[in-house]
Structure 1
Amino acid sequence: MTRTTDGNGVAPVPRRLLAAATRLFAEQGYARTSVQEIVEAAGVTKGALYHYFGSKEDLLHEVYARVLRLQQERLDAFAGADAPVEQRLRDAAADVVVTTIENLDDAAIFFRSMHHLSPEKHRQVRAERRRYHERFRALVEEGQRAGVFSTDTPADLVVDYHFGSVHHLSTWYRPDGPLGPREVADHLAGLLLRALRP
């Protein structure tokens, strides 16, 4: 179980730094947010930030990486479940929508600010995303081999179609809108499964 607070009810320093950075990056942008503003909002020293993250860029990378780690763990669990491939793909397709909406600031920050990452970190993020997409694509291909899904459209295009919708969520989804995260997830997963029917 992840520890959210210490024994005194205070969030650990890395969590406070990430929460402060996420809020400030979302409100005023990565480039316009200073290290000083982050540490003041988190109630820690600059030394603490550099101890845990090394740089503001490391914080930006972690904002995205923590969501991707969560999504990868959940996808691995769905993909490895003892269920028909259609159900496993539907569950995985819906879950990535829900977890993206639940972390909408993180997604928006990352897609707006990814160009601030160094080439090395940029490559690292692309490799992490590629691993996720490849595991998702493997589910599509499994269903295609079994004859459950149509082979008319290549699996790569199917994956790009779904994740194009997911990556676009931060531009239009509003928590006070007519659809909740689960409803959006069900609609988008349903569209994906309908597109794959033989």
Structure 2
Amino acid sequence: MSTKKKNVPSMVKDQTLIKKRREQMVKGAVSLFKEKGFHRTTTREIAKHSGFSIGTLYEYIGSKEDVLYLVCDSVYEEVMERLEAHLDQKEAGMDYLKQAVRSLFKVVDEMQDEVLVMYQEAKSLPHEALPYVLKREEEMTQRVEEVVRDCCRQGVLDLDERVIKLTAENIMVKGHMWSFRRWTLSKRFTLEEYTDYQLEQLLGGLSSTNEAKS
């Protein structure tokens, strides 16, 4: 199956208008998918929450599945953009890794609903669209891998390639858990407290690994 970006059909040729209308759709769809789920949400409801008629909706998409695809693609795009905006390239080594973790957790907190919907509903994507969305997820994890790998190049960490990848996966899971479990975690922790605790667990485990090797 292809991992190329899906070409969502549109009867409109104006790219600026397409972008605007689809952004409205994504915003309207996220709130509905969170409340009702993808399958229970109708295209008429999406159109209403987006601020236009169902006829107008179908000028910019071909199906309800196209809306879900646009939601997933736009969420990954925005998460990556916000993550890069939070990262300070002046930092290095372990400080940069800590900053990357804090930045990721902050972005997940800022986009809680979007991240939750994306992970709950991505399984409903058509088979031809799913590989591309999974590739976007992999790209996000690879960005975290780069930071961990940079620590290894600087001699701050001593991890083999498998552990580098696993560390990045652990960081991603801990970040997303703030979205999945926020209904209970937020009763006990602020975002800062949660981040500090997870950093201690994540980096403490890496330190233990290094000590075991020495």
Structure 1 counterpart of 2:78, from 70, 77, 85: 70
Identical columns (%): 25
State the match for 2:174 in structure 1: 165
State the match for 1:35 in structure 2: 43
Structure 2 counterpart of 1:127, from 135, 142, 147: 135
State the match for 2:123 in structure 1: 115
Distance 1:53 1:166, change over 3 A: farther
Q: How far is 1:162 from its partner? A: 1.6
Distance 1:78 1:176, change over 3 A: closer
Structure 2 counterpart of 1:91, from 99, 102, 114: 99
C-alpha root-mean-square deviation of aligned residues, in Å? Answer: 2.5
Structure 2 counterparts to residues 141-156 of structure 1, below 5 A: 141-151=149-159, 154-156=163-165
Q: How far is 1:75 from its partner? A: 3.9
CA distance in 2, matches of 1:54, 1:145: 47
Q: Is 1:192 the equivalent of 2:192?
A: no
Q: How far is 1:111 from its partner? A: 1.8
CA distance in 2, matches of 1:29, 1:56: 12
State the match for 2:31 in structure 1: 23
Instruction: Say if 1:104 and 1:170, in contact at 8 Å, map to a contact too.
Output: yes
The letter of the residue matching 1:168 is: M
CA distance in 2, matches of 1:94, 1:140: 14
Distance 1:24 1:154, change over 3 A: same
CA distance in 1, matches of 2:158, 2:31: 43
State the match for 1:6 in structure 2: none
Q: How far is 1:149 from its partner? A: 1.6
CA distance in 1, matches of 2:189, 2:33: 26
Q: How far is 1:78 from its partner? A: 6.0
**Consecutive aligned runs of 4 or more in structure 1 exceeding 3 Å deviation:** 12-16, 51-54, 74-80
Return 5+ residue gaps in structure 1 as ranges.
1-11
Number of aligned residue pairs: give it: 187
State the match for 1:46 in structure 2: 54
Return 5+ residue gaps in structure 2 as ranges.
1-19
Distance 1:119 1:92, change over 3 A: same
Structure 2 counterpart of 1:180, from 182, 186, 190: 190
CA distance in 2, matches of 1:86, 1:77: 19
